[in-house]
Amino acid sequence: MPGTPAHFPQKLGPYELLRLLATGGMAEVYLARRDGPHGFTKTVALKRILPQLARDADFVSMFIDEARVCAQLSHPNLVQVFDFGEAGGELYMAMEFVDGTTGAKVVRKAAALGEYLLLDGTLHIIVSVLRGLEYAHAAVDVHGVPLGLVHRDVSPGNILIARSGSVKLGDFGIARADDFERRTEEGQLKGKLGYMSPEQVTGRKIDARSDLFTLGIVLAELLVSRPLFGVGNELDVLMRIRDADLSVFDRFSSHVHGDLAAIARKALAQDPSDRFQTAGEFAEAIEEFARQQRISIGSSRLVPWMQQTGLITTTRSGEHLLDIPRMPEGARKPHKRPKTPNPDAIVARDVPIHEASPPATGAPPGASAAEAPVSPAVFRVTMGEHIVGPIPYAELVELVATERANGDTPVARGNGPFRPARELPELARLLLSPALSLPPGASTMARDTWEIDRASHAMNLFDLTTRKETGLLLATQNRRRKKVFLVDGAPVLTTSTDKNELLGQQLVSRGMALPMEVDMALALCPRYGGRLGDALVGLGVLRPIELFRALVAQTHERFIDLVTWKFGTLEFIPNVRAEGDAILHGTSAYELITKGLLQGLAEVDLLELLAPFMDAEIRPASAPPFPAAHLRLSHRLATILASVDAPKRFGEVIDQHTADGFASRDDILRALFVGLSARLLITTGFPPLPRKPSVPTLPM
């Protein structure tokens, strides 16, 4: 087995592997040496793909990308790549060996000692990494073309601190660069749990400011010696990052100078536009703070502290250890943390976080889910003049979720007495959820109401998004009902009474869970506060990250489906929020509306809707409500839309693009209809027979 003493030294190409240094998710790193003529020798850190992944094309491509990009980087605060090669079918990368420790070990040591790291050392670490990022973000290739590099894994474990005190950022293994974006698509959740930006978590497009957020996490943790987001189960961590929840920092940063705390909070702003816009700007803010406070940024006290705490020795790797002399009195003056109870366990978040079992409904304080009483197996439900049952809990939940049963429906547990469903603890949370109940006071609030039709439906949704409306959108189509909670025009939570859109059904249809696993999780829902997703995680059916992705996809798909509706009624109640239940934050609705619009209209619909305008003039809006790029159209449709740069007849646009075979008639009609619906294009009389929102009224 690699890494055991019996297997060393080994040979890999021209390198002699001396010992295993670390193993990660994709590769392992060895201390290695290359000997040359006349006594030449070079010690390196040699990285190679894990044997079980060596034939995986995606991992190999990522490894090659890392080597290719890093070979173009040369900066004192970045780990340098010296060599890249292949031996015996194995790829390897020879990198600079940093003899010292890591930022993760520094954070853990300070936490274990109950200390705050020396401020000058903290600032030295952060500024050093920022200077490396400043160089990497602006790096260009040999032809002078910007690489567009984003590290995506700025975490304490990738910050290397040499025994000399120099600081280097390493591991560009999951970095994103413009020329290999194909393997780092938006929506992929990459990075260490607890060290991601809100846009990474929610799958939005990322740029260099994402790295600044994650380094802001490192800064905050060095300042308070506590994990900022990474305590609890994985889904909770993802939610706290999504919301940029700084409650831990707020509670434990009273000793931090106000100006420095403000710098950390700016780096950790939820919206990238509110953060520092470049690594250089971030570094200059810290350096200005240090100048004003007369703090000498450097490692002069950090190195002795690392020696005293045993993080580094006074000898080079491979030499006999010497006794470490005690530091002179007063040389080490750590800032002791106050002896106050810490509700957050100190954990090293570069290692997996163990999930705690959720409390059981009705269980005594401190009781685990395993100690809670098991939910009854069957129920009976009074439906009109008939009694349905006995049925399992899964079917009861389906009846309630699809609104065939409600809080007043008589339900009996087993052979017990009938009572209103709302009185059953296992249904209480479901009946009070945003899916089945309006927030307090919402029923008496003023609302806009309009009928759905094919011509104006998407236009009305685009208008809500453009106006950045916050509130609740209620959609009704026969017995189907949807609720869409909007924040600044973006859907953050969607609910549906459609059986096929329930979480369990969607997980089964995607092959993420078996029907029996969903039924088992539903039976255990009372132990998990009524949350099916938490029950599936508790059973080990889903990983928390898989659940998060499934919930995001469910929100997207429910909203896209609403856009495809061709009839029904919409009501919008302003200023209503789904507090605590929202999954998404900051997700643009423009692309989702466009997807639904393109999916929901067949060519025959487009011909019918646009036939009256074929001889009419279509022109670009003089003041478009938003950039066309927000629609995220395909290249073909975007080109058609952009070609309407002056008044033209519909027929002229169609002839222009069909003559050279660039696009079909269907493509052209779709592009024009999207442009009209988004109000980027204008033609007289569109939409036909408009059904505008009514004057706000109070429901009787």
What torsion do the CA atoms of 226, 76, 147, 196 make, to the nearest 10 degrees? 0
As beta bridge partners, residue 85 has 92
Told to judge if 153 belongs to the known catalytic residues of this protein, a careful annotator would answer yes
Q: Which two tokens stand for residue 431?
A: 């009946």
The string of DSSP codes covering 471-504 is EEEEEEETTEEEEEEEETTEEEEEEE--GGGSHH
What torsion do the CA atoms of 384, 387, 389, 394 make, to the nearest 10 degrees? 20
3-class state of residue 631 by DSSP: helix
Q: Which two tokens stand for residue 598?
A: 């393109």
| Residue pair 379/396 in contact by the 8 Å Cβ criterion | yes
Q: How far apart (Å, rounded) are the C-alpha atoms in residues 123 and 431?
A: 51
Q: How far apart (Å, rounded) are the C-alpha atoms in residues 63 and 60?
A: 5
Q: CA nearest 99: which of 351, 298, 322, 315? A: 315
3-class state of residue 133 by DSSP: helix
Q: How far apart (Å, rounded) are the C-alpha atoms in residues 667 and 659?
A: 14
As beta bridge partners, residue 168 has 160
- Exposed / middle / buried, residue 113 (Cβ in 10 Å: 0-12, 13-18, 19+): middle
* Residue whose structure tokens are 């002791």: 336
Catalytic residue among 83, 120, 153, 581: 153
* Residue whose structure tokens are 């609104």: 403
| Residue pair 686/459 in contact by the 8 Å Cβ criterion | no
| Residue pair 268/216 in contact by the 8 Å Cβ criterion | yes
Amino acid residing at 4 = T
Angle at 224 between CA 222 and CA 230, to 5 degrees: 80
Q: Which residues contact 125 (CB under 8 A, 6 or more apart)?
A: 103, 106, 159, 161, 167, 218, 222, 302
In the chain, DSSP finds a helix count (H) and a strand count (E) of 22, 23
Alpha helix positions (H), 138-207: 198-202
Alpha helix positions (H), 243-366: 247-252, 258-267, 279-293, 302-308
First to last CA, the chain: 75
Determine the distance from the C-alpha atom of residue 536 to the mean position of all C-alpha atoms in its chain, rounded to a whole number. 20
Buried b (16+ CB within 10 A) or exposed e, 2-12: eeeeeeeeeeb
Q: How far apart (Å, rounded) are the C-alpha atoms in residues 203 and 552?
A: 9
| Residue pair 189/99 in contact by the 8 Å Cβ criterion | no
Q: Which residues contact 522 (CB under 8 A, 6 or more apart)?
A: 392, 393, 394, 397, 504, 532, 535
| Residue pair 316/133 in contact by the 8 Å Cβ criterion | no
- Would you give the DSSP letter of residue 624? -
The string of DSSP codes covering 402-443 is TTSS-TTSEEEETTS-EEEGGGSHHHHHHHHSTTTSPPTTGG
Element (H, E) at 522: helix 515-523
- Would you give the DSSP letter of residue 146? B
| Residue pair 126/167 in contact by the 8 Å Cβ criterion | no
The string of DSSP codes covering 537-570 is HHTTSS-HHHHHHHHHHHHHHHHHHHHT--S-EE
User: Which residues are tagged catalytic?
Assistant: 153
